[in-house]
Amino acid sequence: MRVRIVTGDIVKLKVDAIIVNLFEGLKAPGGATGEVDKALDGVISSLIARGQIKGKLNETTIIHTLGKIAPEMVLVVGLGKKKNFNEEKIRQVTAAACKSLRGAGAKNVATIMHGAGAGGITPTAAAQAITEGSLLGLYKFQQHKSRKSDKQEIRELSIVERDKKGISKLKAAVKKGTILAEASMLAREMVNQPSNFMTPTDMAARAREVAKKRGLEIEVLEKEQISELGMGGLLGVAQGSQQPPKFIILTYKGNPDSNKAMGIVGKGITFDSGGISIKPSAKMDEMKGDMAGGASVIATMSAIGQLKPKINVTGLVPATENLPSGTAYKPGDTIKAMNGKTIEVLNTDAEGRLILADALSYAGKLKLSPIIDIATLTGACQVALGNICSGAFSNSQRIADRVIRAGEEAGERIWQMPMYDDYSELIKSDIADIKNTGGSSGGGAITAAKFLAEFAGKTPWVHLDIAGTFLLDKDSGYRTKGATGIPVRTLVNLILGLAKE
């Protein structure tokens, strides 16, 4: 779908449908909604009086115009309570409206600027949020269906602005919103793919496509190179699979005058059976998405390749499958990570931290700072936070605050978890430097983060555990069933913010 900015009178546009709005509690429509109501001889006011339109958040009501105005349909979407309105609500209501109109067969749609001026929301912020909400809300993954959905797709959404003043800024906001949404959808598409269509080799191929399209540098290390670097964690996890591991390095040089670069590191387990410590069969199919962290890194690099901030960024993705076989690594094995630390493997299903250990070590070799790693790392984080927000763990409060704020801007909630030194005691090993689980003492998300901290060292670092937020079992606003694309827009916001410093 194309999103664009147009100027003019919305009631005169020759489109299938227009979207107007109403705050909860209002007894009469105002602004552009009031003008549309007047053109329809008070139909909207009448429905409000009857209690059929209440303005509750995401409430949608379609009115057929029967030739009274140029658009064939008017959709009134509820904005909820005015005091609670923000950019995230704009994304939600736009998605709700567009989904409803898709169901009604609309192909060309126009909308007023939801919320511009309410709660300090600028027109550019509103335009970007409308763009993100519409594109993300209408996303569908149907690649492997032999029979596609019968529903017609919306082809174009026009955001209508009366005043031509500032139109260039609005167009820039729509462009940015489109880039962010498309990056999130790239991550969704990669995570939604069946694992036989998203092997480590496929993941590397997708990264190469992104690099070529966005002007990034790329290097993909093969098994022999991975071995030469001493990446025992990645090799250990990979040895149970016939699919060769890959170590993907994407580089964006937005500030060639600087030798400094930040790093984003994503877990790329393209299928996780648990290995010898095999998972229960229930929902094991969802573990095709255990590479969501890696997908978010590739998608983020795609976005910044288009937005071109003045900052250097390197994306690292260790990619492999974790499978049981006669060659698989076993509970009780000891492996050595790239930085020389030895690891006692107590549970082969705690594999993500092993491949991230090597990736973080490699990031240290490149002197990347700060480093953000993203991983579907622990069921414990999902137990703690559900699917409402991701967990953040850090050795730098300054960078943690920046990440959390970037998430708030994106509508991707993040909650910081503790990193007390006491938790480090739980991962001490009797036979190696460290062990890969904290046992049955609880705090599994924290002990996993403390494990990773051993490889981040003193570099400012944030670990994002997205185990609870990378996937949904039903639609929720503009987040559709399946992969969410979290935290791509957070990462892009963070990078853009750091580039301004």
Give CA separation, 121 vs 44, 124, 205, 339, in Å.
25, 8, 40, 48
The residues assigned a catalytic role are 279, 353
**C-alpha torsion sign, points 353, 355, 358, 359:** negative
Q: Classify burial at 253, counting beta carbons within 10 Å of its beta carbon; exposed 0-12, middle 13-18, buried 19 or more.
A: middle
Find out whether 294 and 486 touch, Cβ atoms under 8 Å: no
DSSP 364-413: HHTT--SEEEEE---HHHHHHHTTT-EEEEES-HHHHHHHHHHHHHHT--
The 10 Å Cβ neighbour count of residue 393 is 24
Among 268, 266, 270, 287, which Cα is nearest to 278's? Answer: 287
CA distance 270 to 288: 6
Report residue 63 CA to chain centroid gap: 34
Find out whether 357 and 338 touch, Cβ atoms under 8 Å: yes
Among 300, 299, 237, which Cα is nearest to 270's? Answer: 237
Give the bridge partners for 45, in sequence order. none
Which pair of structure tokens corresponds to residue 19?
């979207």
Half-sphere exposure of 331 (CA within 13 A, CB side): 11
Find out whether 95 and 137 touch, Cβ atoms under 8 Å: yes
Helix/strand/coil for 55: coil
The Cα angle at residue 322 between residues 382 and 346, in degrees rounded to 5: 70
Helix/strand/coil for 316: strand
Return the DSSP state at 341. Answer: -
CA distance 384 to 425: 21
H helices within 275-378, ranges in order? Answer: 292-307, 352-365
Burial 361-391 (b: 16+ CB within 10 A, else e): bbbbeeebbbbbbbbbbbebbbebbebebbb
3-state secondary structure 431-453: CCCEECCCCCCCCHHHHHHHHHH
Which pair of structure tokens corresponds to residue 490?
């957070």
